[in-house]
Amino acid sequence: MLRILKLILPLVMVISCSPTTEKKTSTHQYLEEITLSQLQTGYAEGTYSIEQVVKDYLQRIEDLDKDGPALNSIICINPQAIETAKALDAELKAGNSRGPLHGIPVIVKDNLNTTDMPTTAGATVLRDSYPPHDSYLVKKLRDAGAVIIAKANLSEWANFRADMSSSGWSGMLGQTKNPYVLDRNPCGSSSGSGVAASANLCALAIGTETNGSIVCPSNANGLVGLKPTVGLLSRSGIIPISFTQDTAGPMGRTVTDVAIALGVLAGVDSTDEKTLASAGKSFTDYTAYLKADGLKGKRIGWLKNIGGYHAGVDTLIKKAIVDLRAQGAEVVEIDFSMDRSAGGSSFTVLLYEFKDGLTKYFSSLGDKARVQDLAGLMEFNRQDSVELKYFDQQLLKLAHEKGTLQDKEYLDALATMHKATRENGIDKLLLENKLDALMAPTGAPAWKTDLINGDHFLGGSSSLAAISGYPSITVPMGFVDVLPVGVSFFSTAWQEPTLIEIAYGYEQATKHRKAPTYIVSK
């Protein structure tokens, strides 16, 4: 979620991209908490077929997302999913595997372009928008043998629209529910991705983040979520907010699954200039950093100023520090508050870049685009029966009023935010304290969804890594009553290997992840 904004409200209609999944008599219980490696073993041994696994995940979506607890996390089912699975089964039967994602059912956030399903960012203006090309990451997933079974709901326009909002709401689908307690919020903006992965509606999910949109829903849904260094993963074909801060990233139930996905997704894309800086700094396999003793000798700085907003979270972070030290890490208390200029400057940059990026995105749709710019989008929303029923479009208005990326205001804000979060932020803290990484609680327990007053956000730690463009990973660190919360580790650019070592070592020593049980209210 973008913490400086959010999104609000109704339960609207569900888009259907394929016929309702046919009811089956077979059970899909075996998919509960299954890992990528377990699926691959099952395929290799003939225990499972990709076709049956895909069908069973689609049945779970029918049973849990549309019926039962009605999680409302899926905007669209891929009508080609089963045929794709059959083809991938045939490849395996012929002795050909494309790698660790071969036959793995994946759900992607509905701001990643897909040619076989509409790409909407949750907005009704894009209801029937089929982009001309897959996003670069979707193509990489398909080439790796993943089966993209569905598109996930999100906070509309990735939470960059309204003054006050409810995370996980979109005009396309309405409000997504938290699977742990159904009247609690899933956070956002990668709300559907977080819920789908947590509720075992897929083996792996892909989210995107500008500020908190991967780590916050991972926190609220008991997941591991990795926000990479900006430039490690391509953004081509992803509906943008910010050229400077946007990145996609994997969301899963284990650090191992997330590390496997990262290796498939990383790489230089000539159409996204940010990725050029990753040459020689990325890996096609991050599983080498899954070390049981990954915490041994690590020096981690605890940002103790990021806390105090929830007593239960404060208790858990102190317990996490004890666990880290027991595994051989040295944890150092750090007093640090991010320069206040960083947040305001980042917001200015987002307004400019959203205007520029969204105009270019509409242009990429050619004559199929309903609108060409923010002015057209706002006018469409004023005429729509859903879009302005509960919330405004103040952020669209503010972005529309900005100039170009050559404006002094924009360039000054860009320089200010990076200096505050890099030179005088993460880099300075790491250097002066001889640290491998920093840590802080990811966020508070999920709040009750409120379609009138919007999100009740208590606190979190996403901004420093998000504004700097540096990597962060969140891992479950326990429960406040029945609601999960996570701990985040972050470092300087391209340090995903170090963060994976730390996260894996902590995860293996604690194993806090528990599947949701769909409590109605608490």
Active site members:
109, 189, 213
Which pair of tokens denotes residue 48?
Answer: 């499972």
> If phi over 0 gives left and psi between -120 and 50 gives alpha, with beta otherwise, what is residue 445?
beta
Q: Is 504 helix (H, G, I), strand (E, B) or coil?
A: helix
* Alpha-carbon radius of gyration of the chain: 21
With CA atoms as reference, report the closest residue to 252 among 290, 230, 223: 223
- 333 burial (CB, 10 Å; 0-12 / 13-18 / 19+) is exposed
With CA atoms as reference, report the closest residue to 380 among 124, 157, 129: 124
CA distance 378 to 403: 17
How does 257-292 read in b/e, with b if 16+ C-beta sit within 10 Å?
bbbbbbbbbbbbbeebebbebbeeebbeebbebbee
Which pair of tokens denotes residue 229?
Answer: 């260094």
Question: What are the E-state strand segments in 153-264?
Answer: 169-170, 174-175, 204-209, 224-227, 247-252
Phi, psi of 342 (to 5 degrees): -65, -45
Stretch (H or E) spanning 124: none
> If phi over 0 gives left and psi between -120 and 50 gives alpha, with beta otherwise, what is residue 35?
beta
Question: What are the E-state strand segments in 36-178?
Answer: 74-77, 105-109, 147-152, 169-170, 174-175
- 4 burial (CB, 10 Å; 0-12 / 13-18 / 19+) is middle
Contact indicator for 105, 343 with CB cutoff of 8 Å = no
Helix axes 496-510, 311-326, angle to 10 degrees: 100
Which pair of tokens denotes residue 285?
Answer: 């396999």
Contacts of 458 (CB under 8 A, 6+ apart): 309, 310, 443, 444, 447
CA distance 85 to 510: 35
Contact indicator for 80, 176 with CB cutoff of 8 Å = no
